Structure 1
Amino acid sequence: MPPDTVFAFAYHQMLVVIAGAVCLFGTWVGMRHFARARATQGTTRYGWLFMASVGTGAALWASTFISILALDPSLNSGFEPFATLVVLIVAVIACLVGFEIGSRHFTLAPELGGLVMGAGILAMHFTAMKSWHIAGTTHWNAYGVVMTFVLGLGLSALAVNRANRPVTRWCRHGAAIVLAFMICAMHYAMTAASTTLPDPSVALPPYLIPAPMLGFAVVAAVLLVMGSGFSTYIIDLRSRTESADRIHQLSFNDTMTGLPNRIAFNERLAYDTAEAHEKAHKLAAFSIDVDGFKDINDVFGHSAGDLLLIEVADRMRRTIGSGEFLARQSGDEFLGLQTSGNHPQDAHGFAGRIAQAFAQPFTVQGQMVTLTASIGFSVFPTDTPERDQLLSNAKLAMHRGKSKQRGSVCMYSHEMDDTARARRALARDLQTAAERGELALHYQLQTSLADGRICGAEALMRWQHPKHGMISPAEFIPLAEETEAIVPMGEWALRTACRDAAQGRIPGTVAVNLSPVQFSRDDLAETIHAILLETGLSPRRLEVEVTESTFMSDQTRGLHILRKLKAMGIAVSMDDFGTGYSSLATLHAFPFDKIKLDQSFVKRLPKDAAAAAIVRTVLALGASLGIPVLAEGIETEAQWQFLANEGCDKGQGYLFARPVALAQLPAAMAAAARFVREDAIELADAPAVAAA
């Protein structure tokens, strides 16, 4: 082969490589922008689409002209300036329309977008070939032209398909490779489809851009566009990386206190348990709860509470040593970890240092406030070999210690778990107790103390467990309130009591207790109204009993509900008066139909002077407000005589009747009537009981 031919062949191959390289790197940047466009919405999406179209279109434009020059680089040739610019515009518009269609979410959208882009690339090649003037003649083969069209359309569709339907993270790189391969393949297809014959007689117009000059110009222009696009991509990537780092930091740290959060604690717990298992160490997990923090929020506001939590976290952070970890879970709850080979001794030391952080009073809005921390801990693997169970044990110990005394440090024991397990099982059984017919109502008669006449009955819930027998209300009522099972249970009790009374099986009024959980529901009045309509009971025969603590959290809303009930004709009585708040302001704000004197005072009558004085005060208060008083827990005739002589209106207790099931209620009424008849004369003739 002659040296000139070898040089021309080498030069030809070098131009093809340059065309492929320019297309590869330019479209790679463009595809990165296209991927960002698919991940965004609105104007940002169109901005990224424009950047992708400019980068990809410029790369295709440059590689097209370079591949045309490579057809016969030894010929004297040039390009029309205006047509060259038109080719660039066609390339950018074709990519923009193709990317826009290809990024949509209908079936075959990527393939359709790729075909549109391929058609634009073919139009670009056609326009570029028309703008190319050579000192000779070119003859085209129809088969080669058809192959060029097939390659242009097919490979464009494949490229956009890979960018939109990535199987792996390398597929978008594959899209750029496909476009680069397309340019090279189309070049060789055009080489096979064309025959160029030099003709020195052909004169080139003077306004043409010389081929070498255009080659350098397009490469320089594309390098500028690629550099700009690549810089944009790097800046965006850096911005996203910084945002991801910031999100990671926020997700692993509590923004208010600066302590690690629950997510970070879980990761540290996983690491420490693995280390403890491998190195035969022990790991203690701590649950720390700030006592009385809710009161701070209620009195001083949440802003002051947040500042207090920041100081609490700062004090505890200063007590942390090597091998120890502290995190904030939420609210006023914190978590801790300590690795040591000397647990539980070292765990007690850690808890003691945390407790010592609360020794000095805190300052809240200029006032000194004393706080304590209830701390529970469990040791891995002594207490449990399960990582997730470790923290549950610590929380269980904390709650157990707090229930006995605030500010205590409590170590987990297996007995706690047994108790908690039994309590959880009981709570599960309680959820369906009403459905299984295990709940029943017992009724305790209420009488007029002046003549012993039966005037009503109080409905009291009982639970006959299939395995454990009769369970005390003192045990299952708090559990029902804790799990909110009291809501359906309370509705069942209301419905059952109203039905029994409507059927004439209960004399006078029927009294039903309302739980604070029931009272917190906005539809309480509507629910009671629906039950009255369903059962046919007159509202005048229903009495609901509430304690003052039931509506103390929101007095305005609570009094509104009570007024709605009373407007319906339902009597409302204040239960357990004399305990809790017993606010005179509440009695003044809402005229109760009855005050129920708590049995803790009645049981000490008549010998206890303090109890007698309190009872007289309550009775005098009721008389002055025009509110009748019912005394609970009357068990002796002396108590009955004292209360009757002091003007107490009504009473209930074992002296008259014990709570009984509905079937035994007639017998209880008959027994109470006989007792009253036998003792009425003695009570009337007995001297007044003097105050002790």
Structure 2
Amino acid sequence: MRHEFPRQRKKMISVVNCITTQHNIWLVLVAALVCVSGSWAVLRLFSRGRSVNGAEAIGWQFLAATAAGASIWSTHFIAIIAYHAGTPVTFDPLLTIISLLIAMAGSFCGLMVAGTIRTSWSPAVGGALVGLSIATMHYTGMLAYVAQGTVEWDMRFLIVSILLAVTITSAAIHVASHDHGTATKTISVGLLTLAIVSLHFTGMTAFKLTPIFIDDSYSNPAAMQAMALAIALLSVIIIGAVAASYLIDNQNRVRSISELEHMALNDALTGLANRASFNDRLDAQIRLANYGGPKFALAAIDLDRFKEINDIKGHSAGDEALKILAQRMRDSNDGTLFIARTGGDEFSIIAPVDNRNQLREVLLQLRAEIIRPFAIDGFQASVGASFGACMFPDDAQEIETLISNTDLALYRAKTEIAEKICFFDKPMDDAVRDKRQLAVELRHALENNQLEVYYQVQTLVSDSSVTGYEALLRWQHPQRGFIPPVEFIPLAEESGLILQLGEWVLRTVCSQCSSLGTNIRIAVNLSPVQFLHPDLPGLVAGILSETGMKAENLELELTESAIIQDKDRTLLQLRQIRELGVTIALDDFGTGYSSLDTLRAFPFDKIKLDRSFMGEIETSKPARAIIRAVLALGRSLEIPVLAEGIETRDQLAILHAEGCESAQGYLFGRPAPFANILSGHKDAPEGALRSALNEMDRAMTAVAPSLGRLG
């Protein structure tokens, strides 16, 4: 063992002497440059191939093998030419070409094993195959080296050269397969370069040439050096072309990733940040504020009258309008605001402000830009803008609360006429929040059959006969108790639930009442919003057919507001419904519009006099006059009139004296479930009415002085 180290040192000295004394150092440097550049290209292409699969992976490994073969072969032959043989030399062309093919084919096989077989050992094994191909190429190339003289080989150096090539290349490919940064890449390039260089110069140390001048031929050093430079230039071109494909692909990947990131974080139409980007920014802003950063405000914008642009000019014009408005927002932004499009015509802003006054100034300026008229294809358009805002942390300390409070403020701004910039106000917005919660609970009640239909009797004033019932929706909330329709019906209309709710009521009524007598009509109220249904007449016809309810037993009631909103469409739907045999009643007449044009435009089957007049009929001369006029109008148009809200016998006596035909109210019976009707409740109103009529004459005598004064 004492002699081991001196022997290794002697070997190293021999290799160094081979490089410095037996080679042209300048050509050695050229070979080294080719080797380094080729190693860089090979390992980059190899790593790229490992990141993909299938044919694309094979393509990248083929390019890597091409670069490897060119760089290995060129390094070898430039270094061979740099060797001072001291005797004339030539190259066997066939073996020279074979050595190049061995370098390329062997590298391809090794890189395929290392790059496409996904195991822990495949990079090392594949690298070893590449190293073996380098050694095979080298010694095949040495066989192509023909010199005048005798050749001897030092087998020790020859074996060491092969071991160095195999082990170091295996390590290089193994490191390259675990690419974790610039340092790893540099190490792998260095190892592959070392493998090629160590193989060559250790192998050349094993090569012993004894010159023998057989003839007068000689080698031209200048020509040999020129050939070496030509090989270097050609190899650099090949390596450069292969590397260029990698760089172009890498640039395209970077560009594609950048575009994908932009698409992921920005709205495709307006170019503003999208909801995902907004959520990330808001989360980061809150974290910054919680760690002592500045206050900020969240503002939500909803465009008013934007739907008109879509309806009049189409969705392409709507898209163009959004682009114009988004650009105005960008132009008015001094760089401090983060503006995002978070919905169809909804935008959100994160503003670094200290108080509401600062925020108001910012929003006023922004709103002024938004509401300025603009032109789209010669069409002058304009929109309004409602703003809801909330300060962090003054108005909210959590992200969910901040967003919720901002939405509540925006909701209030949309319902306000004068104030279009609203800040979160706890007392006012708590009421809005409660309404929204009630709307959610209403949907739950509908889905879980927690609603019930009650019926209130309708009778003729002249005798004791029952003419029908009005269906009334009732909601007994499990926690809140009874909730009157005046509270939850508007919520259903605002949320759009009224379509589903109205269909449920109509189907329930028709199912329950399909077996009642032919002379009994069931009145069902229609909301104005229900006339937005795409096929309301078809829905009514379908429910009648499904439940077996006779059309003549169904009466649909609507207020005049339902007609005013879209008169032509509504009247067309009413005519189609009436053609089914269903009767149509005009509800709440005497209030609201009460337009005579409406009565002229559609032949209603009944007019329902609003209950508000009944409370004043005994004391108010104007109320009595209106009732008399409505009854006279009904007679002249041959439309029956039903008075609602009858609670006293005196009211009934006055209506009887004025000639009212039908009545409805607590005097005849309170609303009750359908089961009460089936159990005989339908006879009770007749008894009550007979009792009322028996006492009517006495009541008429009692109120006669009043009738005279009011008449």
Q: CA deviation at 1:174?
A: 4.8
**What whole-Å deviation, never above 9, does each CA across 1:587-645 have from its counterpart, x for those lacking one?**
2344352435434653256848778888998999998xxxxx99795545868997999
RMSD: 5.6
Structure 1 residues 127 and 652, CA, compared in 2 at 3 Å: closer, same or farther?
A: farther
Query: Aligned ranges for residues 167-566 of structure 1 at < 5 Å?
Result: 167=180, 171-187=184-200, 190=203, 194=206, 196-200=208-212, 215-241=228-254, 256-257=269-270, 282-313=295-326, 326-341=339-354, 343-357=355-369, 361-362=373-374, 369=381, 371-386=383-398, 389-405=401-417, 408-416=420-428, 418-419=430-431, 422=434, 439-445=450-456, 447=458, 449=460, 452-453=465-466, 458=471, 460-466=473-479, 468-476=480-488, 547=527, 549-550=529-530, 552=532, 555=534, 561-566=539-544
- For residues 664 and 537 of structure 2, the distance between their equivalents in structure 1, rounded to whole angstroms, comes to 27
Q: Secondary structure of 1:580's match? A: helix
In structure 2, the CA distance between the partners of 1:242 and 1:434, relative to structure 1 (3 Å rule), is closer
Match of 1:585 in 2: 572
- Per-residue deviation, 1:460: 2.6
Deviation at 1:500, TM superposition (A): 6.8
State whether residues 36 and 193 of structure 2, in contact with CA within 8 Å, keep that contact through their aligned partners in structure 1: yes
Deviations 1:380-434 (A, max 9, x none): 3332345675454333211122223376221112335644654566567667657
Which residue does 2:671 correspond to in 1? 659
- Cα-to-partner distance string for 1:346-380 (whole Å, 9 max, x where unaligned): 33333333444466555566565554221222223
Deviation at 1:266, TM superposition (A): 6.0
Pair 1:75–1:289, CA change in 2 (3 A): farther
Distance in 2 between residues matched to 1:563 and 1:46, nearest whole Å: 66
Q: Which amino acid aligns with 1:375?
A: F
> Structure 2 counterpart of 1:218, which letter?
I
Q: Is the 8 A contact 1:118 1:157 kept in 2?
A: yes
Query: Would the aligned equivalents of 1:287 and 1:334 in 2 still touch at CA under 8 Å?
Result: yes
1:383–1:186 Cα change, 3 Å: same
Using the alignment, how far apart are the partners of 2:129 and 2:367 within structure 1?
72
Matched residue, 2:605: none
Q: Quote the offset at 1:26 in angstroms.
A: 1.2
Matching of residues 101-180 of structure 1 within 5 Å: 103-104=115-116, 111=123, 117=130, 120-121=133-134, 123-125=136-138, 127-134=140-147, 135-139=149-153, 141=155, 145=159, 148=162, 152=166, 159-160=172-173, 162-164=175-177, 166-167=179-180, 171-180=184-193
User: What is the identity, as a one-letter code, of the residue corresponding to 1:124?
Assistant: M
Q: Distance in 1 between matches of 2:389 and 2:232?
A: 70
- Using the size of structure 1 for normalisation, the TM-score is 0.71
Shift of 1:435: 8.7
- Deviations, residues 244-285 of structure 1 (Å, cap 9, x unaligned): 555666666656556555566667767877887899865333
> Structure 1's 465 and 612: CA in aligned 2 closer, same or farther, altered over 3 A?
farther
CA distance in 1, matches of 2:655, 2:665: 14
**Aligned amino acid, residue 294 of structure 1:** K
Tell me the secondary structure at the aligned position of residue 137 of structure 1. strand
Of 23, 31, 34, the residue aligned with 2:35 is 23
Say which SS state the counterpart of residue 561 (structure 2) adopts: coil
**In the alignment, is residue 87 of structure 1 matched against residue 94 of structure 2?**
no
Q: Scaled by the length of structure 2, what TM-score is found?
A: 0.69
Instruction: Give unmatched runs, 5+ long, in structure 2.
Output: 1-9, 591-608, 615-622, 701-706
In 1, the alpha carbon distance for the partners of 2:169 and 2:16 equals 33
- Counterpart code for 2:141: A
Deviates more, 1:346-355 or 1:161-170: 161-170
Q: Which protein is bigger by CA-based radius of gyration?
A: 2
Is the alpha carbon distance of 1:348 and 1:167 closer, same or farther for their aligned partners in structure 2, counting shifts above 3 Å?
A: closer
Once residues 46 and 230 of structure 2 are traced to their aligned partners in structure 1, the CA distance between those partners, rounded to angstroms, is 26
Distance 1:125 1:426, change over 3 A: farther
The separation in 2 between residues aligned to 1:609 and 1:90, in whole angstroms, is 114
Please name the residue that 1:516 is paired with.
none
Q: Which amino acid aligns with 1:288?
A: I
- Residue of structure 2 in register with 1:576 after alignment: 558
Q: Greater shift after overlay, 426-435 or 302-311?
A: 426-435
SS in 1 for 2:475: strand
Residue number among 48, 69, 73 corresponding to 1:57 in the alignment? 69
What displacement does 1:302 show?
Answer: 1.6
Quick one: distance in 2 between partners of 1:318 and 1:5?
A: 71
Q: Contact 2:87–2:212 at 8 Å: present in 1 too?
A: no
After TM superposition, the structure 1 stretch with the greater mean CA deviation from structure 2, 480-489 or 359-368, is: 480-489
> Distance in 2 between the 1:659 and 1:224 partners?
96
Conserved in 2, the CA contact under 8 Å of 1:445 and 1:454?
no
Residue 599 of structure 2 is matched in structure 1 by none
Q: 1:671, CA displacement in angstroms?
A: 3.2
Matches within 5 A, 1:569-648: 569=548, 574-581=556-563, 583-590=570-577, 591-592=579-580, 593-599=582-588, 602-603=609-610, 604=612, 607=623, 634-635=645-646
Closer, same or farther: CA 404–366 of 1 in aligned 2, 3 Å: same
Q: 1:442 to 1:93 in 2, by over 3 A?
A: same
* Contact 1:465/1:471 (<8 A) preserved: no
Q: By how many angstroms is 1:52 displaced?
A: 3.2
SS of 1:285's partner is strand
| Partner-residue secondary structure (3-state), 1:222 | helix
Give the 3-state SS of the residue equivalent to 1:579 in structure 2: helix
Range 453-462 or range 481-490, more displaced = 481-490
Aligned AA for 1:595?
Answer: I
1:161 to 1:318, Cα distance in 2 relative to 1, 3 A: closer
Rate the CA distance shift 1:7–1:40 in 2: closer, same or farther, 3 A.
closer
Structure 2: distance between partners of 1:204 and 1:430: 111
State the distance in 1 between where 2:217 and 2:537 align.
99
